Chains A and B, each alone.
Chain A
Amino acid sequence: MIFKLHYIVFTFIIFIIPGPVLCKDIIVCPDCEIRSVKEAISQSANGDRIIIKKGIYTENNLSIDKEIEITGEDFPVIDLEFKYQGFIIKSNNVKISGLEIRNISVNYMTDLSAIKVENSENCVIENNVITDTFFALYLANSDGCLIKNNKISCRAMSESSSGNGIHLWKCNNITIEYNETTGHRDGIYFEFVKKTTITANYSHNNLRYGLHFMFSDSNVYRENTFRENGAGVAVMYTRNIEMTDNKFEDNWGPASYGLLLKDISRSLIKRNLFYKNTTGIYMEGCEQIQVEENEFKSNGWATRILGNCMNNKFTGNNFVSNTFDVSSNSSRSENIYSGNYWDKYDGYDLDRNGTGDVSYRPVSLYSMIVDKVPESIILLRSFIVELIDATEKAMPVLIPETLIDDNPKMKMIEYD
């Protein structure tokens, strides 16, 4: 009787699988008939759904070349045992969700990752927990994917033996949102990535950069938080970036920046918060960047703008409790500062229009001295420094003539 039943099921399966229209669910669990994910994938066809029940699966190298969905119930664990890598998605329309993937091997030759997406479109990677990674999510040459709500963590010890949390190379139209990544070399890394939206991610305590991209034009970064990364956020050689409502916090260290911009042009940086960074924004070779309505608070240097930056515009920003608001290595400035609030401004407003009647010079002589002779930082807030700055204020000779805010605000600017 039992034998007979098995026979019937078997025949049933045999006849159904090739059916292109009928999609089915394949259940994987430690006590089921199908006990491994690999087997389930090999038995699946386009449009199928593999449901993995709670349990620990020690597997490796799960190559997906069909349009299937893999979803976990109660976070089944895919343990790679530091042997090799996890899923490799090679076909379009693949979805992976609800899994816990852990223990990815560190390899100096290959970028091993928990989920690798290669040359495919419209993938969805959602609600996964990925721990002890080398690389976690690795997308190459892909388009239109959604990466959402993944929790990615690693305990990287050195930059050379660690990978990136979310790594994109030559991708377009990707949406990355609500992910958390920590403990990697770079939290989020892009190279040649276009038209991508990065929203509400939390990238913290990564060894190098919280966010790092190069040659990645026309991307939008919104509402992300980058905190306590070794060197903050670095973006290079890119045009048309929009960065709004992000938070750059607690990036401390000799070479640490809230946001490092190198050769960036035609971009918008708006309504971000820069809080307690050694340097809030560092700009090198940047052009036509609008820095608007940001809040710079308790940074060492709110902004460091090198002499090769031109036509950048700083308007409506709040500069509060920074040790230095603006510093520069050059005595010329071809950037525009207007309508910002500087808490160090001590001018008056006789006509009561909210704008100070005398213009403000945000660069202090002492900040220029510190730039040239860094050791003099030890005299910060000493009487002699106050004296030097007061003298320069009374008789300006050394600080850039053009670096001036003609419309300094009297009160902190409120944003709605």
Chain B
Amino acid sequence: MNTKILKYILFELLRNKFIILYSLILMVMSFSIIYIGQDSSKAVITILNLILFIVPLICLIFGTIHFYNSKEFIQFLLTQPVNRKSIFRAEYLGLSISLSLGFLIGVGIPVMFYGFLLSGMYLVLTGIILTFIFTAIAFLSSVINKDKVKGIGLSIIIWLYLTIIFDGLVFLIIYFFNDYPIDKFIIILTSLNPIDLGRILMLLQVDISALMGFTGATFQKFFGSFIGMAISAVFMLLWIFLPLAVSLRMFKRTNF
């Protein structure tokens, strides 16, 4: 039953002009980056920067707006004999899957077309995981705020925080405490930010030579090891499931 609601929500979203546009823009950008860049790994890096910047932003803003726009439809569905959890799950999966598909087509096709293989696979995987994470966060900020403008505002603040402010703070910590053995602390700290996690996992692909440098090796040893990979994956999954669990809890108590 759930999968059928999901199916139609997915159908609906895949016809959404914005998602088609998102996919097209990503595709145009990826193709032009690959076309202009003479070297494949440079192209991968540029696309990575694009992904780390755009994917969270789009997922947060579009996710929040979509949630508010769907409120009446969600309300209508809730008057049917169906529980709230099913509707919530269908809405979340519908949105994150359709955004992921948009991303997959927009970035995956250009990357595969030029045969970037492993680093390209990581790139696409990173983008999709980030999509799932930031759609979950978008739902959380929509459920927290009844008011649409406040919800979008909160989403933008979260995006600013995770994209710029967080790294700025990490940078300051590194700069002022580099006399102390802070390597492990930094590893833990960066694991707390999904964008950083995605970025570091990509670095292991494209900047491995630099990471093998003196201090980088500590990070490489951790994130490159099986345990490090597993921990990163767990943190990524937590970034999906924690916001979802909290927002589902709140969604169940929401008065429409």
Direct contact of A and B (CB under 8 A): yes
Q: Which residues of A contact B (CB under 8 A)?
A: 252-256, 276-279, 298-301, 320-324, 343, 369, 373-387, 412
**A378 surroundings in chain B (CB, below 8 A):** 170, 174, 186-187, 190, 200, 216, 219
8 Å CB contact of A383 from B163, B209, B217: B163
B80 sits at the interface (CB 8 A): no
B182 adjacent to A343 (CB under 8 Å):
no
CB distance from B172 to the nearest CB of A (A): 10
B38 sits at the interface (CB 8 A): yes
From residue 133 to 147 of chain B, which have CB atoms closer than 8 A to chain A?
Answer: none
B171 adjacent to A323 (CB under 8 Å):
no
8 Å CB contact of A376 from B171, B196, B200, B208: B171
The stretch of B44-52, B86-94, B150-158 that contacts the partner chain: B44-52
Interface centre among A300, A375, A387 (most CB of B within 10 A): A375
8 Å CB contact of A323 from B174, B196, B209, B215: B209
A374 adjacent to B213 (CB under 8 Å):
yes
In the A-B complex, list the 5 residue pairs whose CB atoms are closest, starting with the nearest.
A300-B210, A374-B215, A323-B210, A300-B209, A384-B167
Contacts A298-B209, A378-B186, A381-B199 supplied; 16 other A-B pairs, CB < 8 Å: A278-B209, A278-B210, A278-B213, A300-B207, A300-B210, A320-B42, A321-B42, A322-B209, A343-B38, A373-B174, A373-B175, A375-B183, A377-B213, A378-B200, A382-B196, A383-B53
CB distance from B10 to the nearest CB of A (A): 32
List 30 contacting pairs A-B, 8 Å CB cutoff, sorted by A: A254-B212, A254-B214, A255-B214, A256-B212, A276-B208, A278-B212, A300-B211, A320-B38, A321-B39, A321-B42, A322-B209, A369-B175, A374-B215, A374-B216, A375-B182, A376-B171, A378-B170, A378-B186, A378-B190, A379-B170, A380-B211, A381-B202, A381-B203, A382-B196, A383-B53, A383-B163, A383-B164, A383-B167, A384-B168, A385-B167
A380 adjacent to B214 (CB under 8 Å):
no
Nearest-CB residue, chain A, relative to B43: A321
Number of contacts between A and B (CB, 8 Å)?
113
A375 adjacent to B203 (CB under 8 Å):
no
CB distance from B213 to the nearest CB of A (A): 6
**B175 surroundings in chain A (CB, below 8 A):** 369, 373, 376
**A299 surroundings in chain B (CB, below 8 A):** 209-210
B203 adjacent to A380 (CB under 8 Å):
yes
- Contact flags B184-225 to A (C-beta < 8 A → 1, else 0): 001100100000100110110001111111111101000000
Decide if the interface of chain A is mainly helix, strand, loop or mixed. Answer: loop
B79 sits at the interface (CB 8 A): no
Q: Which residues of B contact A (CB under 8 A)?
A: 37-39, 41-42, 45, 48-49, 52-53, 163-164, 167-168, 170-171, 174-175, 178, 182-183, 186-187, 190, 196, 199-200, 202-203, 207-217, 219
B200 adjacent to A321 (CB under 8 Å):
no
Decide if the interface of chain B is mainly helix, strand, loop or mixed. Answer: helix
**B174 surroundings in chain A (CB, below 8 A):** 373, 375-376, 378-379
Q: Give CA–CA (A369, B45) in the complex, Å.
A: 21
A377 adjacent to B209 (CB under 8 Å):
no
**A279 surroundings in chain B (CB, below 8 A):** 213
8 Å CB contact of A386 from B38, B49, B183: B49
Q: Give CA–CA (A109, B146) in the complex, Å.
A: 82
A373 adjacent to B214 (CB under 8 Å):
no
B171 adjacent to A324 (CB under 8 Å):
no
A387 adjacent to B164 (CB under 8 Å):
yes
Given the contacts A378-B186, A378-B219, A384 and B42 also touching, CB distance less than 8 Å: no
Interface centre among A276, A373, A386 (most CB of B within 10 A): A373
Nearest-CB residue, chain B, relative to A382: B167
A377 adjacent to B219 (CB under 8 Å):
yes
Nearest-CB residue, chain B, relative to A341: B38
Q: Give CA–CA (A323, B48) in the complex, Å.
A: 14
A320 adjacent to B39 (CB under 8 Å):
yes
Q: Give CA–CA (A378, B200) in the complex, Å.
A: 7
Nearest-CB residue, chain B, relative to A250: B209
B217 adjacent to A380 (CB under 8 Å):
no
**A412 surroundings in chain B (CB, below 8 A):** 38
